[in-house]
Amino acid sequence: MTLPSSPKSFIERLSSPNPSGEQSVQEYIHGDAQVAIGESEVSRFRIASLIGHGVRALGVTILGIVLLLSLLGAVGHLARLNAEPPFQLVEVEVDRRLHVHCEGPMGAPFVLYDAGAFGIYADGWWIKEALKADYRVCIYDRAGMGWSDPVPTDTAPTPAWHVEDMRRLRAALGETTPFILVGHSMAGLRLHAYASMYPDELAGLVFVDAARPQRLDDSRMASLVPWFGRIMLVGGILARTGIAGGGAFLLPDELDLPTQEAQDKRRSIAAVSHHSAARSEVLAAFGPDRAGSQPDTTPAWKLPVVVYSTSEDGGANRSVAESASAQAGFGRIRGMPEESHVSLLDRQTAELIAADIRDMSAHLYKP
């Protein structure tokens, strides 16, 4: 056979024995176009194959991570089954207790720390440490949070309801004199509620990057509340599967807490009840049924006030501190944009908060 001399095509001859033992010849004629198409198809096949391998590898990796987190969560769950609350459980109502830790001299000025939306007693640890030499300081878990018993059935955990629970806690602790209330994040709503409902029971307020009820109708808040509720719902599901508990082992301890307190922070992240309680609080404070749950007036400015904020201008409670300065004679604003919402509770900032509280006391008890 004579081969074509045209460069546009070529002939491949493949010889192979047939069943009779004779050689058969198969001829494949390819033009440039057919070659190009063939190479393109091979390239697409290779890309698809690589993508398939990559997807499978990613799936295996994700599955491995999920299994690892679930295993860590299961180990943590078993450890929690035998765990005991590290501090005192104080009965505030029949068959309902709050987990509380107090340090400092009996009879000294009283300070109560109230944690934020997802927080526990441990968040106020360094504030307690910075004040305990000359103040009686208590840090606690709100109802349903941390080690505390849940909110009573059919009770909405509004800011006003938590104010009443704080009063029950103070009574159970034997604290009757006016006290300084410190609150972080969403606790600001409870600080304002307390000032509205029982101003004579307070000696001063410290807002740590805290919320203010006048911002409840902010359009951004209206969009954030459903989002936060969904996050807490997903968090509860992850807690049930053990994934949240496993993930808690990997989270950094931003506050550099002691071992027990760091473990309790991780425990709260892993607890379904904690996620559920946090979600209920947010919906009670910000949800569509919050009418009547938050007092309309907040005469916090009639009390000495210190405001800490990650906003340089003092944030939501700036005007409260300014009015407190004019009317109560003591109002202080510390805008700290270099800090985060969490780092405002670290050891270094706690020392500054303690110094401000001592200045507040000096103003309150000056001759």
Q: Mind listing the pLDDT tens digit for each residue in 309-341?
A: 999 999 999 999 999 999 999 999 999 999 999
Give the number of residues written for the chain: 367
Radius of gyration of the chain (CA): 32
Average pLDDT over residues 93-103: 97
At 148-205, the pLDDT tens digits run 999 999 999 999 999 999 999 999 999 999 999 999 999 999 999 999 999 999 999 9
Residue 111 is predicted with a pLDDT of 98
pTM, two decimals, is: 0.76
How many Å apart are CA 348 and CA 252, to the nearest integer? 18
Residue 252 is predicted with a pLDDT of 80
Query: Is the pLDDT reported for residue 4 higher than 70?
Result: no
How many Å apart are CA 222 and CA 57, to the nearest integer? 41
Residue 93 is predicted with a pLDDT of 97
Query: Is the pLDDT reported for residue 72 higher than 90?
Result: no
Residue with the bigger pLDDT between 283 and 49: it is 283
Selection from 221, 262, 309, 16 nearest residue 123 by Cα: 262
Strand 96-103 and strand 88-93: the pairing is antiparallel
How many Å apart are CA 159 and CA 194, to the nearest integer? 9
pLDDT category at 78 given cuts 50, 70, 90 is: very low
Residue 12 is predicted with a pLDDT of 42
Q: Are 11 and 34 in contact (CB under 8 A)?
A: no
What strands lie across the sheet with 179-184, from one edge to the other?
88-93, 96-103, 136-140, 110-114, 179-184, 202-208, 305-309, 331-335
Residue with the bigger pLDDT between 267 and 236: it is 267
Asked which of 113-117, 232-236, 257-261 is least confident by mean pLDDT, the reply is 232-236
pLDDT category at 302 given cuts 50, 70, 90 is: confident
Residue with the bigger pLDDT between 26 and 154: it is 154
Average pLDDT over residues 263-272: 84
Selection from 9, 59, 50, 57 nearest residue 33 by Cα: 9
| Helix/strand/coil percent split, the chain, to 5 | 50, 20, 30
How many Å apart are CA 31 and CA 8, to the nearest integer? 6
Provide the percentage of residues in the chain whose pLDDT is more than 90: 53
Residue with the bigger pLDDT between 138 and 218: it is 138
CA dihedral 226, 229, 233, 236 (to 10 degrees): 160
At 202-237, the pLDDT tens digits run 999 999 999 988 655 555 555 555 666 666 566 555
Residue 272 is predicted with a pLDDT of 79
pLDDT category at 66 given cuts 50, 70, 90 is: very low
Average pLDDT over residues 256-283: 87
Exposure on the CB side of residue 168, measured as CA atoms within 13 A: 17
Selection from 103, 145, 96 nearest residue 121 by Cα: 145
At 338-354, the pLDDT tens digits run 999 999 999 999 999 99
Residue 7 is predicted with a pLDDT of 43
Residue with the bigger pLDDT between 75 and 363: it is 363
Q: Are 300 and 320 in contact (CB under 8 A)?
A: yes
Partnered with residue 31 across adjacent β-strands are 9
Residue 186 is predicted with a pLDDT of 92
Residue 64 is predicted with a pLDDT of 53
pLDDT category at 24 given cuts 50, 70, 90 is: very low
Domains of the chain: 89-364 (3.40.50.1820)
Query: DSSP secondary-structure letter at 123?
Result: G
Burial level of 168, CB count in 10 A (0-12/13-18/19+)? Answer: middle
How many Å apart are CA 63 and CA 65, to the nearest integer? 5
